[in-house]
Structure 1
């Protein structure tokens, strides 16, 4: 997920939309229009405050804590979600750490603060903490080009290849488009293969566009590990997890899968019904999405974040290097109106500001195959919350965090957060549906040609070879890495177009396989629309 997980009150939502609380337009978030610089002597302008004084106290936080049990339990009751865990940190103290529900639907094991979840993209702020540790040791700098440490790094523009820095990759401003490399991961390709093929991906504007990219982020983490002469997984263990006693945390799928107290992934299968159907292997994108952890462990990491890199009174991560991760580097959501606020991305953090000028940090994580997580921080208040769930994202983790933060600041929630955020997620699901519904076969489809017209090996420099072959009197195709190939059944749709079931984290139902007869001097081609999102999904038949 790309949206922040510190949600505003209804009042702030109206401001963000450029509408005042009474329905009147706002100027500069409620302030009077600023005079031209020449009209006011700079010496008379007040200096901005070094910090915003805290507005919360323990009594206000306790009031929000008193609501957490009921809200989390109600979230399970209203959605049927199998399980979740929540932890809250305030002023360097873990005030709350609790599990709800079960680790697997239909089985008795309950969720505890020690239950290990796959945290999906909450891996990103964890990773930027690790990389800040490398920066603090002066092995790398945020502004170093990553090609300095990974000579094989290459993108689809020589200038970008030579100049893309750690900060560029970790703030999603390299120009790589959202999803670059993700479909290779779904097919089973490993990290080395995917990173070595990113140069085929088209780029948007370097440093002036924002596109959330898992494998751009992964390249930044891998290059930091290369600089340390380490694997990424060992680097995270040594710089962060062991120092904070995060014994249940890892960037290795194998460690998650061998944990006895482990929450499995679930997807909805009906009204308030969930099933454990899928396994998600995120090792290829480990820095961006491959971490697993418990809320007990993550509470220790939040103490480090709120403590400016110190833990238990001891420095662990250089404060300046860590602070760099907390400030805006990219505009992730430009203001839609003059009085609206823009949203920003730091290095692994969504960054925004509330009505009082306080910085808000957050990040969500989502596996469509069955996990949803969220972390939210108000650093100036020394307050943070993390929620981990074992179900496909529906906004539940974000709603729990938002309700807690809202209650702490306003006494009672100003929004019914669960249906409000669920509506946002439903809109996103609708937007992600394929353009063509291949389940609706034409009433009078044109006939297909003989099977031999389509069978053979088709080549593609990005996805590798694809083989179409006869199976059970029909057609099927096989693609992916040699040791993990996937077979897709092909179902006739219309003429030379067939359908197949898309797979993996990005799967969204039936997709199209469009065969094209050759023109003079060319070879037959096959285009897979699901794999053609950036123009790389056309395969050319060999042998002609």
Structure 2
């Protein structure tokens, strides 16, 4: 099977780092006694974590040597309701969908339908980025490794406004690159989605049908889907929970179909055991060959450096839809987390040298429950006991992340003591546009400015802050924070352009008035 070519994958530094960090060949560290003790600790630790964090529910599955050795649920599917979490409770996986998408594409590489080094535009001719050369050269592997040059989060803002997948991918061409091709890592849901979509078009299938045909059905993953409608149709499903007013509340839903390859899979602990067995078995499920070993192995090659994990200190790289991490004792892990700010948090973590893997699914965000349980498990199975309170450490890290989001709107919480007056609202109302977001219509409604943006004409109410600056709340979902709106005024004392601060991270938040002067 063709592998990642040296011209596109430059492995020397990364590979040497991995070889230097890897321990010499030795007997298995995971003895039956250690594994049994670590699994018994999960029985104690999981309920304790739910009690200390308040997270409503968790499902855990552990695979070792091609066997499911642990499969349990704890807590409830929805806070305040009696339905319990079990092995067949369906959770939204969020970004844990990415390594699953990688496995699906590996199946196409396995039979020669695509190669990881194929330019995405070969199979998806409509795909364009801002640079014609990059459009011709960027490969499926580049998109899955987040090294296409697209800025991090590219397209997420379009999804939040209601654009569908084809239109989001079309509009990526209007984004200036954050880096040159293959020079840097920038996590992009819709970059990876573009790579998956190219592979699906090569196979002549929708992504959702392809995932079911190539992975879910062959592995017997009967409760797994890349369609949100299938998740909502499940009776045994976990609701999303966010922290509100001192409790976990099922206040929001998340419909991720636009980014299904990157964040739209829903599944159960039992189903995910089959996928973990396939990954740890190098494409084998029991005695059955499902995917060629070399096609799947390419997904675990470290292609771009991510830096150091701020909680564990592990050295981290990204492969094709997988994090490839090395801990301080030289163990190599394949892992990926998933989270929706509306209330989902999941993690898969595989230790291939020991044919061992664990997945933890939770129905709340943010908390240290999922990552903390996994780090505690590996400490127990490798070293006999947890080295520290991983749940608390991860919880602190997520608290810091939440605080940083809130700080982003702090500048607008308090108005100036003597704000300058605004112009008459007629000076600001009108039609504005830019290529990436499309048309922004600002109208006067009940003495206020209201903006409408996106295909669903999503409404934002502007509140005056100071002179020609207003504020608004871009999203009611967490992390909700005020953002600024600044109008530039022309000689006719009418706004010529407006900047929506929340959408200006990549310089795309500037809208220019388009209707003729009155």
Please confirm whether the aligned pair reaches a TM-score higher than 0.5, indicating the same fold: yes
Residue 415, structure 1, aligned to residue 422, structure 2: no
Q: 1:383 aligns with which of 322, 340, 356?
A: 356
SS in 2 for 1:153: coil
Residue 444, structure 1, aligned to residue 418, structure 2: yes
Distance in 1 of aligned mates of 2:167 and 2:347: 30
Once the two structures are TM-superposed, the CA of residue 341 in structure 1 deviates from its matched residue by 6.7
SS in 1 for 2:461: strand
Contact 2:147 2:183 in 1 (8 A): yes
Once the two structures are TM-superposed, the CA of residue 519 in structure 1 deviates from its matched residue by 5.4
Give the number of the structure with larger relative contact order, counting CA–CA contacts within 8 Å between residues 6 or more apart. Answer: 1
1:41-440 matches, cutoff 5 A: 53-203=27-177, 204-271=179-246, 273-333=247-307, 342-432=315-405, 433-434=407-408, 436-440=410-414
Encode CA deviations 1:49-98: one digit per residue, 9 max, x unaligned. 89554211121111100010221111111111111111111111111111
Distance in 2 of aligned mates of 1:269 and 1:341: 32
SS in 1 for 2:411: coil
Give 1:501's aligned residue.
473
Distance in 1 of aligned mates of 2:25 and 2:167: 46
Once the two structures are TM-superposed, the CA of residue 457 in structure 1 deviates from its matched residue by 1.2
Mean Cα displacement is larger for which, 345-354 or 119-128?
345-354
Q: TM-score, normalised by structure 2?
A: 0.92
Distance 1:504 1:128, change over 3 A: farther
Distance in 1 of aligned mates of 2:192 and 2:365: 23
SS in 2 for 1:459: strand
Contact 2:241 2:250 in 1 (8 A): yes
Once the two structures are TM-superposed, the CA of residue 490 in structure 1 deviates from its matched residue by 1.2
Once the two structures are TM-superposed, the CA of residue 395 in structure 1 deviates from its matched residue by 2.4
Residue 511, structure 1, aligned to residue 486, structure 2: no
Once the two structures are TM-superposed, the CA of residue 270 in structure 1 deviates from its matched residue by 3.1
Contact 2:409 2:481 in 1 (8 A): no
Give 2:14's aligned residue.
none
SS in 2 for 1:98: strand
Distance in 2 of aligned mates of 1:52 and 1:270: 52
Residue 538, structure 1, aligned to residue 517, structure 2: no
**What stretches of structure 2 of length at least 5 have no aligned partner?**
1-16
Distance in 1 of aligned mates of 2:465 and 2:497: 17
Encode CA deviations 1:190-222: one digit per residue, 9 max, x unaligned. 101100011111211211101011110000100
Q: TM-score, normalised by structure 1?
A: 0.87
Once the two structures are TM-superposed, the CA of residue 436 in structure 1 deviates from its matched residue by 4.8
Give 1:462's aligned residue.
436
Give 2:11's aligned residue.
none
Give 1:44's aligned residue.
none
Once the two structures are TM-superposed, the CA of residue 357 in structure 1 deviates from its matched residue by 3.3
Q: 2:500 aligns with which of 528, 538, 541?
A: 528
User: Aligned-residue CA RMSD in angstroms?
Assistant: 2.2
Mean Cα displacement is larger for which, 347-356 or 102-111?
347-356
Contact 1:183 1:506 in 2 (8 A): no
Give 1:491's aligned residue.
463
SS in 2 for 1:333: strand
Encode CA deviations 1:268-324: one digit per residue, 9 max, x unaligned. 0133x1111111111101100000001110011101111111112100111101111
SS in 2 for 1:106: coil
**What stretches of structure 1 of length at least 5 have no aligned partner?**
1-27, 33-47
Once the two structures are TM-superposed, the CA of residue 439 in structure 1 deviates from its matched residue by 2.0
SS in 1 for 2:412: coil
Distance 1:228 1:352, change over 3 A: same
Distance 1:521 1:52, change over 3 A: farther
Distance in 1 of aligned mates of 2:476 and 2:285: 38
Distance in 1 of aligned mates of 2:309 and 2:41: 33
Contact 2:366 2:399 in 1 (8 A): no
Encode CA deviations 1:456-504: one digit per residue, 9 max, x unaligned. 11112111111111112222111111xx221111111111111111117
Distance in 2 of aligned mates of 1:256 and 1:218: 20
